[in-house]
Structure 1
Amino acid sequence: MQLLAFDTSTETLSVAVQAGERVWVHEGAGGAQASHTLIPAVRALLAQAGLELAQLDAIAFGQGPGSFTGLRTACAVAQGLAFGARGGAGLPLLPVPTLMAVAEEARMAHGCGRMLAMLDARMGEVYVGAYVWLAEAGCWHESEAAQLLAPRQVRVPEGWASAGNARPVHGQALAAGTPDVAALPTARALLALAPALLRQGRAVTAQQALPLYVRDKVAQTSAERAAAAQAARPA
């Protein structure tokens, strides 16, 4: 299988190309820089792999939740690349939930099979999703869809691990005593998830590809910021 994958949902830009059993990976600074560096990184990796866009089976991208700007960047670039391939006929796009990619990164690195994936959502909140690895099927089951929570609302089920980038930011507010794995939604994780998601019919056309925001606004009002600060103070 020949795939391109990228994620710009966090402060890390992650890009990967797969050609058969070989994988080429690039990581760099994300955030605002991703809109300038993503396409050059894609072109460089495709050149290293000796592939043209039209030869790809699909393009996987991190659909969210995550940075609003990052999600829009990834989706727009995926759509543009898909439209431009195969003489305008387009390539299939595979929107991959970033929290599932966090779970997959943790599984690949540490063998975790029951995972509460968490990403910092800023504004004193975290994105949370729960996943169980189905070994026989070779895929993740989403036991709890992505949601937006205050750190103190997060509960890690007994026997589960948590992963993501939320604990370094919200460690004092998150429940202590649970195994925690540092993991991001990497492009390598997207590649690993892609075959099962493609078999499940999760690929879409460029016109159908959309980010998954979860949160519907990017800033708090003054009253909301004051209330959040008051809630964070020790009782």
Structure 2
Amino acid sequence: MNTATLKLLALDTSTEACSVALQTGTEILTLDEVCPQQHSKRILPMVQQLLSQTGISLNQLDGIVFGRGPGSFTGVRIGVGVTQGLAFGADVPVYGVSTLAAMAQAAQRLYAAKQVIAGIDARMAEVYIGSFILQNGLMQPLSSEVAIKPQDISGFDLSGEVHAVGTGWQTYAEVLLQKQPAVIADDILYPSAQDMLTLALPAFAAGQFIAAELAEPVYVRDDVTWQKLPGK
């Protein structure tokens, strides 16, 4: 993979924030904006702003990365729909990245974190939550991502320093800290598209981007139990 000529766009609308990032070679430009219920109005102008800033057109992109969820049902659907529309028009492949993994990657970028528990306030007294561990510079899932009531989590079984990110830790800090002592990163509340680019690069190099029509959201609301992944 020749990163010097690589052009990737990433976007996320799965939470209260809109995030767009554009990678051209080794440079990444990012726009993050908290805009509850304004995603459908803001996301395309934000994309256009970065494209105009770099002088790149959609059909010059090598691919589009999107936040696949979990998050707001409406927000996740908007992100997938916008990605498909842009990708169809430009005839480029796409790749979905976990919003929880993106926040975990942000903790690695900002704090050199090696173990992270990411949680998004899922409303209805639940959190979307998952744990991650650093492997070769990238945050990899240690547990399955679930929607669960914080008090129903059996425990994370992590030792050593653990960082905690996302709105779930703001809303349910007291309960979650009883389950797992952690350093809460108050400045990482929402996923940022720049971290989705980082996580998507190996998939692009491996040819794992897919056709736009195959892009799917991940809601996880149907998953109700905390499960560690096999071999983790």
- Calculate the TM-score normalised by the size of structure 2: 0.85
* Residue matched to 1:219: none
| Partners of 1:103 and 1:116 within 8 A in 2 | yes
Give the C-alpha shift of residue 121 in structure 1: 0.7
* Residue matched to 2:53: 48
1:4 matches 2:9: yes
Give the C-alpha shift of residue 207 in structure 1: 0.9
Give the C-alpha shift of residue 151 in structure 1: 1.1
Equivalent residues, number: 211
* Residue matched to 1:207: 213
Matches within 5 A, 1:63-78: 63-78=68-83
1:164 matches 2:166: yes
Give the C-alpha shift of residue 16 in structure 1: 1.1
Give the C-alpha shift of residue 141 in structure 1: 2.4
Q: 1:200 to 1:163 in 2, by over 3 A?
A: farther
Secondary structure in 2 aligned to 1:140?
Answer: strand
Bigger mean CA deviation after superposition, 123-132 or 73-82: 123-132
Give the C-alpha shift of residue 173 in structure 1: 2.4
Separation in structure 2 between the aligned mates of residue 129 and residue 31 of structure 1, nearest angstrom: 23
* Residue matched to 1:143: 142
Between the aligned residues of both structures, percent identity stands at: 37
Secondary structure in 2 aligned to 1:174?
Answer: helix
Matches within 5 A, 1:102-113: 102-113=103-114
Secondary structure in 2 aligned to 1:18?
Answer: strand
Give the C-alpha shift of residue 11 in structure 1: 0.8
Give unmatched runs, 5+ long, in structure 1: 217-235
- Please point out which of 192, 195, 212 is paired with 1:186: 192
- Deviation per CA, 1:188-208, whole angstroms, max 9, x where unpaired? 111211212323444111110
| Partners of 1:152 and 1:175 within 8 A in 2 | no
CA RMSD across the alignment: 1.7
- Deviation per CA, 1:100-137, whole angstroms, max 9, x where unpaired? 101101110101111111111111001111211112xx
Give the C-alpha shift of residue 15 in structure 1: 0.8
Secondary structure in 1 aligned to 2:109?
Answer: helix
Secondary structure in 2 aligned to 1:32?
Answer: coil
* Residue matched to 2:3: none
Q: 1:106 to 1:144 in 2, by over 3 A?
A: same
* Residue matched to 1:128: 129
| Partners of 1:92 and 1:203 within 8 A in 2 | yes
| Partners of 1:139 and 1:196 within 8 A in 2 | no
| Partners of 2:107 and 2:163 within 8 A in 1 | no
| Partners of 1:13 and 1:28 within 8 A in 2 | yes
- Calculate the TM-score normalised by the size of structure 1: 0.84
Give the C-alpha shift of residue 164 in structure 1: 1.6
Give the C-alpha shift of residue 10 in structure 1: 1.0
Give the C-alpha shift of residue 152 in structure 1: 1.6
Give unmatched runs, 5+ long, in structure 2: 1-5, 223-232
| Partners of 1:8 and 1:30 within 8 A in 2 | no
Structure of higher CA gyration radius: 1
